[in-house]
Amino acid sequence: MKRFLAIFVALCAVFTAVAQSENSIIIDQKSFRPVHTDALTGANIDPISVDSSRNPCARIKVKINRMTREDIDKIDVKIITNNQLTKCKTADYENGLILEMTAKSTTRFYFNHPEFGQSNEVTLDLVPDKEYCMEASLNQLYSIVVNSNFEGAEVYIDNIYKGVTANNYQLIIKEVLPGEHTLKVVYGGAQPEQKINVHSGNISFRQNINIAAAVPQHVIFKLTPMDAMVEIDGSTIYGTVEGEGYVDKQLKSGSYDYTVSAPNYHAHKGTVIVRDQKVTEVVTLQPAFGFLQIANNNLNDATVYIDNRNVGKMPIAMQQLSSGEHQVRILKPRYKPFATKVMITDTQTANLTPQLEPAFAKVTLRASSSDTEIWLNKIFAGKGSYITELDFGSHSVEGRKAGHRSTPKVFDIRSAEATTIDIAEPTPVYGAIDVSSTPMAATIFVDGKNTDKQTPDRVLDLLVGEHIVTVEKSGYKTKSQKVTVVENELAEVKFSLVPDGSVAKPKPAKTPAVKPEKQSKSKSTPTVKPQTKNRFESSVDLGYSMHAVPGSMIHHTALSYIGGLRMGRIFVGLGLGAEYSMDNIDNEQTMSNAEQNYNNNSSGGTTMSGGTINMPLYLHLRAYLGQRERTFCSLSAGGKLFGSDTFEREGVSYKYSTNGLFADLNFGLKFGKFFCAAGVTTQSLPYISKYDGSELIMKQQLGIGAKISLGFTF
C-alpha cells in the first residue's frame, strides 16, 4: 500500500510539473553584454558565419541555468524580426546555447520548448562579427517526494526546513526549483545529506537514517548551584544537594533546547544534541546576587529592614541579596528613621555606613531655688536642677513648693542641640488663723516659731497647708493643734488651758519636736583591691617532658631553680638547672646513619642523646593568662644557655651544645606555696646534620610534646 502511495505521489508531481511549465523559461535581457569590444584586446574570436544573403552575423552565447543538456537540445529559437538564424547549437562546456544570426540593430526572438513552453521575448542590438553572452533560467517549480525510514524526520532543502516525514515515512515538498540541491534529513543525532538534481524526470528521492542514532541516550547535567532547575523542551527537572547537582534524563536522538535557572542566579540557555552516545552538559550559573555589609557605628539594637523585611537587630551579619536596587531602613528608638537605596552588583559587596540623626536632645531643667521640686511630664524628677535627655516633641515642666502655686511650662524639643529650660518660681499662696484661748494672754507659736502675739489675735500671711499652732501660758499646760490654712480664708483655733498646779516661773513655750528627716544610708564604698606591686619571686620546679621528633621520641627529666621579677601577670627571670635524657639511643648507630647520609648525599639528620646530665642556664619569660585563687594558666618562653653533652665513638670524644629555645603552655593548681601543672611544650633539640668520619656538624630541630611538673614558690 505504501509503495502504491509513493508511485501515486510521484505521478502527481510529474503532472503538476507539466501543468506549471507555461512561461517558465526566463531570458535575462539585462545580462546581455559583448564578450570583446574591439580587436585591440588581442583576443581571437572564432570566425562568425554569414547568412544566406552574405550579410554578416553576430554570435550569442546563452547560459541556461537549472536546465539539463537534454532539455536544452529541445529548445527552438523563434526570431520575430527579419533575421536569419545561421547556427543553434548546444554548448559543449556548460549548459547553454550558441546562437549565430544576422546582425541587426533591432533583433527580437524568444525560446520555445515542447515541455516548458515559450520564454519571454527579448530585443537586442547586434553588431556584425561581434560575440555576446547572456543568461537564461528555467523557473519551473517541481513538487518532489522525500522518502526515509523514520516517521517525524526533519527534512531540509539547501539547509531550509521543509517539514517532517509523515507516518508513511514520506514528505512532499512543493515549489522546488529544478537543478542541483542539497537534501538533508535529520532525526536525533543523525543528519545524513546528499546532492540531488531536480528535473522533470527526477522528483523522488530517498534518504535513510541510521537506526542506532534513534536509541534514547542518557543526557546528564552537572549543575552549579546543585539545586538549580533544568527545563528541557517544557519538561522541568530539579537538581538536589544530595545528588551533588547531577540530573539524568534519557532523550531520543535529536536537538533539544534547555534552560537552567536558580534563584539569585542568571539563567543559562543552551542546546544539547543527542546522537548515539551519552551526553554530559556542565552548566555553572553566574551569580545574580551580591552582598550588603552594614557598619555598626554604635547602632546596637537598631532594627534593620531590607525591602520591608525585618532582618534583625544590629549588629547583623553580611546579607546576601539579589542583584539590583534594594530599599534599606534602619529604626532605632530616639533616633530619626534612616532610609536609603543600595545597588547590589553580582558577587560584589556593597558597604553601607549609616549615620542616624538623634531625635532627642540633652536638656537642663533649672529652677530658681534649690528646694524647688521639678516635675517633668507630671513625674517628679528632682530638686533645684535636673539634666536629662528628652525625645523630640512637646513636654511640660513645673516647679512645686508646699504652699505655693505653680504654673506648668510647655516647651518643644525640635533639634538635637543641648538646651536649658528655666522653670518659673512657684507663687506663694497665703491664708490666716484666728487664735483664742481661755484664759487669754497665752503666747502663740506657729510651727514652733514664736509669733510674738498673744491670744486672742490673728496670724496673717501663712502659707496654705497644714500648720501646728501652739499656745503657752505660765501656770497652764501647753496645748497644740493642727490647723489647715486655706487661701483667702480665716481659720479659727480655740484653746481651753488647764492649770498645771505649780506656781513656778512660767516656762517658755516648748517648741514641738520636729522629727528629724531620715538620713539615707550612704552606700558603702567598694573596697579597691590594691594593685600588685613589682616584687622578686623564685621557684623550684621538677618536671618530666617528652618530645616527638622525626625518627624517635626524646624523654627529659629536669630540676631547675628560677628567680626573677614579677610585674603583675608578667615574670622575667634567670635560672640554673640539671637535665637528664632518659633515652637509650644508640649514638654509635646514630653516627653511622649520619655518616651514611653524608656519603649518599642524603638530607636530614638523626637526633642525639648522650645519656648524661648537663647543667644549662635558663633565660625565662612567663605570662599568666589567667589566675585565680586555686588555678592558673601561663605561657612561658625562653632559651637554654651553656648546656652541653658528650659521647664517644671509636675512641674519639665528641661534645655538642644542647642550647636551644623552648615554649610551654601550662595549666595548673596551687596549694599555698606548692603547685602542680601540665601542658604542651615545644623545644629545639640537637641532631647530626653531617658527619664524614672526622667532622661533626650539629643542627637544631623542633620537638613537640607534653610536660608535667611540680614545685613550690618562695
pLDDT at 647 over 80: no
678 in any annotated domain: yes
pLDDT of residue 385: 92
Q: Report, as an integer, the average pLDDT of 64-86.
A: 91
CA distance 262 to 582: 66
Looking at per-residue pLDDT, the higher value among 36 and 636 belongs to: 636
pLDDT at 512 over 70: no
CA distance 140 to 19: 10
Q: Report, as an integer, the average pLDDT of 71-78.
A: 93
Q: Report, as an integer, the average pLDDT of 223-248.
A: 87
Q: Report, as an integer, the average pLDDT of 80-89.
A: 93
Share of residues in the chain with pLDDT > 70 (%)? 83
How sure is the predictor about 77, in pLDDT bands with cuts at 50, 70 and 90? very high
12 in any annotated domain: no
One domain for residues 30 and 121: yes
Give long-range contacts, CB 8 A cutoff, 24+ apart: 497-506. 497/437, 497/438, 497/439, 497/442, 497/471, 497/473, 499/475, 500/475, 500/476, 502/475, 503/475, 505/474, 506/472, 506/473, 506/474, 506/475
Looking at per-residue pLDDT, the higher value among 643 and 264 belongs to: 264
pLDDT of residue 529: 40
Q: What is the pLDDT of residues 130-167, one digit of tens each?
A: 999 999 998 888 899 999 988 888 999 999 999 999 99
pLDDT of residue 136: 94
Most trustworthy range by pLDDT among 31-40, 602-611, 702-711: 702-711
Q: Which residue is listed with cell 546532492?
A: 195
* CA distances in angstroms from 74 to 96, 111, 112, 225, listed in the order given: 12, 10, 8, 70
pLDDT of residue 586: 58
pLDDT at 429 over 70: yes
Strand 349-352 relative to strand 289-294, pairing: parallel
pLDDT of residue 19: 37
Q: Is 377 left (phi over 0), alpha (psi -120 to 50) or beta?
A: left
Q: Report, as an integer, the average pLDDT of 532-560.
A: 80
One domain for residues 165 and 311: no
One domain for residues 322 and 407: no
Q: Can you name the residues that pair with 459 across neighbouring β-strands?
A: 433
Pick from 232, 223, 229, 228: which is nearest to 251 by CA? Answer: 232
- Contact in structure between 85 and 112 (CB atoms under 8 Å): no
Q: Can you name the residues that pair with 124 across neighbouring β-strands?
A: 107
CA distance 618 to 649: 30
Looking at per-residue pLDDT, the higher value among 114 and 699 belongs to: 114
Phi, psi of 73 (to 5 degrees): -60, -25
Count: domains in the chain:
7
One domain for residues 579 and 689: yes
Pick from 365, 369, 435: which is nearest to 402 by CA? Answer: 369
Give long-range contacts, CB 8 A cutoff, 24+ apart: 530-534. 531/568, 532/566, 532/568, 534/565, 534/566, 534/567
Q: Torsion angle of alpha carbons 112, 118, 124, 126, nearest 10°? A: 0
Q: What is the pLDDT of residues 341-384, one digit of tens each?
A: 999 999 999 999 998 999 999 999 999 888 899 999 999 999 99
- Contact in structure between 12 and 143 (CB atoms under 8 Å): yes
How sure is the predictor about 601, in pLDDT bands with cuts at 50, 70 and 90? very low
124 in any annotated domain: yes
CA distance 260 to 267: 6
How sure is the predictor about 593, in pLDDT bands with cuts at 50, 70 and 90? low
Domain boundary among the residues 107, 138, 169 is at 138
Whole-structure pTM value: 0.37
Q: Report, as an integer, the average pLDDT of 268-293.
A: 90
pLDDT of residue 628: 77
Q: Report, as an integer, the average pLDDT of 55-81.
A: 92
One domain for residues 470 and 418: no
- Contact in structure between 59 and 32 (CB atoms under 8 Å): no
331 in any annotated domain: yes
Q: Report, as an integer, the average pLDDT of 599-621.
A: 65
Q: Report, as an integer, the average pLDDT of 41-59.
A: 82
Pick from 476, 462, 543: which is nearest to 507 by CA? Answer: 476
pLDDT of residue 587: 59
> Which of 219-228, 273-282, 441-450, 590-599 is the least confident region?
590-599
Q: Is 183 left (phi over 0), alpha (psi -120 to 50) or beta?
A: beta
One domain for residues 129 and 177: no
- Contact in structure between 148 and 139 (CB atoms under 8 Å): no
pLDDT at 431 over 80: yes
Q: Which residue is listed with cell 632559651?
A: 639
415 in any annotated domain: yes
Q: Can you name the residues that pair with 134 across neighbouring β-strands?
A: 62
One domain for residues 127 and 150: no
One domain for residues 200 and 234: no
Most trustworthy range by pLDDT among 6-15, 132-141, 519-528: 132-141
Looking at per-residue pLDDT, the higher value among 519 and 62 belongs to: 62
Q: Report, as an integer, the average pLDDT of 241-261.
A: 85
How sure is the predictor about 608, in pLDDT bands with cuts at 50, 70 and 90? low
Cell numbers at residue 356, please?
A: 542616624
Q: Can you name the residues that pair with 668 across neighbouring β-strands?
A: 632, 677
520 in any annotated domain: no
pLDDT of residue 690: 66
One domain for residues 159 and 126: no
CA distance 279 to 247: 12
Longest pairwise C-alpha distance within the chain: 195
Domain extent at residue 239: 215-284
SS3 assignment for 15-50: HHHHHCCCCCEEEEEEEEEECCCCHHHCCCCCCCCE
Whichever domain contains 688, its CATH number is 2.40.160.20
How sure is the predictor about 446, in pLDDT bands with cuts at 50, 70 and 90? very high
> Which of 228-242, 286-300, 546-560 is the least confident region?
546-560
Q: What is the pLDDT of residues 88-133, one digit of tens each?
A: 999 987 789 999 999 999 999 999 999 888 999 999 999 999 999 9
Q: Report, as an integer, the average pLDDT of 486-504.
A: 84
Phi, psi of 516 (to 5 degrees): -65, 145
Cell numbers at residue 377, please?
A: 511630664
How sure is the predictor about 434, in pLDDT bands with cuts at 50, 70 and 90? very high
Cell numbers at residue 684, please?
A: 629545639
Q: What is the pLDDT of residues 194-223, one digit of tens each?
A: 999 888 788 999 998 876 666 678 899 999
pLDDT at 183 over 60: yes
| 515: DSSP letter | P
Share of residues in the chain with pLDDT > 90 (%)? 48
pLDDT at 455 over 80: yes
pLDDT at 555 over 90: no
pLDDT of residue 680: 92
13 in any annotated domain: no
> Which of 120-124, 209-213, 237-241, 522-526 is the least confident region?
522-526
pLDDT at 511 over 60: no
How many CB atoms are closer than 10 A to CB 377? 12
Phi, psi of 241 (to 5 degrees): -65, -40
Pick from 676, 650, 660, 568: which is nearest to 614 by CA? Answer: 660
One domain for residues 598 and 655: yes
> Which of 126-130, 237-241, 694-698 is the least confident region?
694-698
Q: Which of helix, strand or coil describes residue 189? A: coil
Whichever domain contains 168, its CATH number is 2.60.40.1120
pLDDT at 281 over 80: yes
Pick from 128, 135, 142: which is nearest to 111 by CA? Answer: 135
Strands (E), 81-228: 85-90, 96-102, 107-113, 117-118, 122-124, 131-138, 142-147, 154-157, 160-164, 170-176, 179-186, 193-198, 204-206, 217-224
Domain boundary among the residues 378, 399, 427 is at 427
Whichever domain contains 242, its CATH number is 2.60.40.10
pLDDT of residue 67: 87
Q: Report, as an integer, the average pLDDT of 588-594.
A: 62
Pick from 324, 326, 264: which is nearest to 294 by CA? Answer: 326
One domain for residues 623 and 684: yes
Pick from 408, 338, 416: which is nearest to 374 by CA? Answer: 408
One domain for residues 399 and 446: no
pLDDT at 41 over 50: no
pLDDT of residue 523: 39
pLDDT at 402 over 90: no
pLDDT of residue 578: 85
- Computed over every residue of the chain, the mean pLDDT equals 83
CA distance 453 to 441: 9
pLDDT at 563 over 50: yes
Domain boundary among the residues 374, 402, 427 is at 427
pLDDT at 467 over 90: yes
User: Which H/E stretch holds residue 3?
Assistant: helix 2-19
How sure is the predictor about 599, in pLDDT bands with cuts at 50, 70 and 90? low
Pick from 676, 574, 668, 559: which is nearest to 613 by CA? Answer: 559
Whichever domain contains 106, its CATH number is 2.60.40
Burial of 514 (0-12, 13-18, 19+ CB in 10 A): exposed
396 in any annotated domain: yes
Q: Which of helix, strand or coil describes residue 456? A: coil
